[in-house]
Amino acid sequence: MLGIFLVTHGTLGESLIQCACHVLNRRPAQIAQLGVSAADDPLDALPTARALMQTVDSGDGVIVLTDIYGATPSNIALKLLKPGVVEGLAGANLPMLLRILTYREKNDIHTVITKAIAGGCDGVLHMKVDRDAKN
């Protein structure tokens, strides 16, 4: 099973995990997060990130999620990547995380990444009110 490691600003990673727990009614296995603050030096956080990532890696690979590409969390995540083994996605959101959790057990890392990106994008939409519907 693919591991999941979130490297995000502040408590966003843990919040996403907690939301997934709510949806799934359980805490998923092989998932961890590292919250990074503005004061953190990426090089100082790197050993902690590597250690946390190892806790979710069972040998099948790890998907690293981060929130904003180019920010400190993604700079840490970039240093963890190994093509085909440890892959990274920026723009983490709950639909993306749920897709990874749904597909990670029976699919290869590249298939799961494709599903995750589609889920993340499909989960962003403009909600409109039906003006003719009675509330």
* Per-domain boundaries in the chain: 3-122
The pLDDT of residue 135: 58
CB-based contacts of 104, cutoff 8 Å, min separation 6: 1, 2, 4, 63, 112
**Residues 43-47, mean pLDDT to the nearest whole number:** 94
Kindly report the average pLDDT of the chain as a whole number. 95
Phi and psi at 8, nearest 5°, equal -140, 170
Phi and psi at 90, nearest 5°, equal -105, 160
Which position has the higher pLDDT, 13 or 43?
13
The pLDDT of residue 53: 97
The pLDDT of residue 67: 97
The fraction of the chain above a pLDDT of 70, given in percent, is 99
CA distance 82 to 16: 24
**Residues 60-87, mean pLDDT to the nearest whole number:** 96
The pLDDT of residue 23: 97
Q: Which two tokens stand for residue 52?
A: 């946390």
The pLDDT of residue 5: 98
Under CATH, what is the fold of the domain 3-122? Rossmann fold (3.40.50)
Based on the number of CB atoms within 10 Å of its own CB, is 8 exposed (0-12), middle (13-18) or buried (19 or more)? buried
